Structures are given as C-alpha cells and as structure tokens.
C-alpha cells in the first residue's frame, strides 16, 4: 500500500464523500425534504461514514483507526437500511435506491478491505 499522508487521499474517503453528496441531493427533494426525521438520520449516517474515516486516520494509531473504520462501516449499513425505508414509502425510485445502496456497499467493502489490510500488516499506512 502506498504512503498516504492525508485522509482525503484515501479512496474510501472519496467514495464516502460521493455517497454523502448523493444523500444530500436526494433528501433535498419532494416529500423527502419535509420528512425531517428520516432525512436528517440519513444525512447523519452519511456524514458519520466520512467523519469516522477522517477521525480514525488522524488518530495515528492502527487500533483506533480500525475502531473508527468499524463505526464507519456500521453507518454504511445503517444508511442502506434507511434507503429501504425511503424506497418503501416512495421518497425515492428504484434507480435512486440502487445508486445509494451500491455506493454504501462499496464503502463497506472498501472499509472492510482496509481493516483487513491493517490487521494483517500491522503497519501504519500513513508512514510506511
């Protein structure tokens, strides 16, 4: 794994950022925009993915980084579950649902991959 000096360079952060943009865009339209509970919860989950990746990276210890990545992965799962609610109550269509869940699943896979890498190599990817 190449040296990464800032969390913005991580592909997982870039994917999480794209997911967050999508969530904000989709939740800002129609009836969704007026359902403050679901809208805000989905936004918080998306922001949590990005924030936990960044906070974990900046922690500078692998153990904490792995812990924060686990939280980020949990938030990706939460967001996928909430996407089903949005689909079921017709705030989003099937295409939007598939785009959201595909990005959330991609985040989760990337996070799992980085966790496995960190556990296997027991090194700090920021300083290797």
Domain range for 15 is 8-121
Length of the chain: 128
CATH of residue 99's domain is 1.20.1440.60
Question: Rounded to an integer, what distance in angstroms lies between the CA atom of residue 111 and that of residue 54?
Answer: 12
Average pLDDT score, the chain: 93
Q: Maximum Cα–Cα distance for the chain, whole Å?
A: 49
pLDDT digits (tens, 9 = 90+) for 49-62: 999 999 999 997 89
Give domain status of residue 3, yes or no. no
Residue pair 111/41 in contact (Cβ under 8 Å)? The answer is no
| Number of domains within the chain | 1
Per-residue pLDDT at 128: 43
- Least confidently predicted of 1-5, 37-41, 42-46, 63-67: 1-5
Helices (H), 1-128: 11-26, 36-59, 62-88, 94-121
pTM for this entry: 0.91
pLDDT digits (tens, 9 = 90+) for 13-36: 999 999 999 999 999 999 999 999
Main-chain phi, psi angles of 121, to 5 degrees = -95, -15
């Amino acid at each position: 794994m190449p040296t990464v000096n800032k969390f913005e360079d991580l592909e997982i952060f870039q994917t999480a950022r794209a997911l967050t943009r999508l969530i904000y865009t989709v939740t800002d339209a129609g009836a969704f925009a007026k359902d403050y509970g679901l809208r805000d919860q989905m936004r918080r989950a998306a922001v949590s993915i990005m924030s936990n990746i960044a906070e974990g990276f900046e922690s500078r210890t692998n153990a904490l980084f792995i812990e924060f990545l686990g939280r980020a992965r949990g938030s990706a799962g939460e967001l996928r579950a909430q996407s089903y609610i949005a689909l079921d109550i017709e705030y989003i269509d099937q295409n939007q649902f598939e785009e959201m869940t595909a990005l959330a699943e991609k985040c989760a896979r990337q996070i799992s991959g980085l966790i496995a890498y960190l556990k296997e190599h027991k090194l700090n990817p920021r300083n290797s």
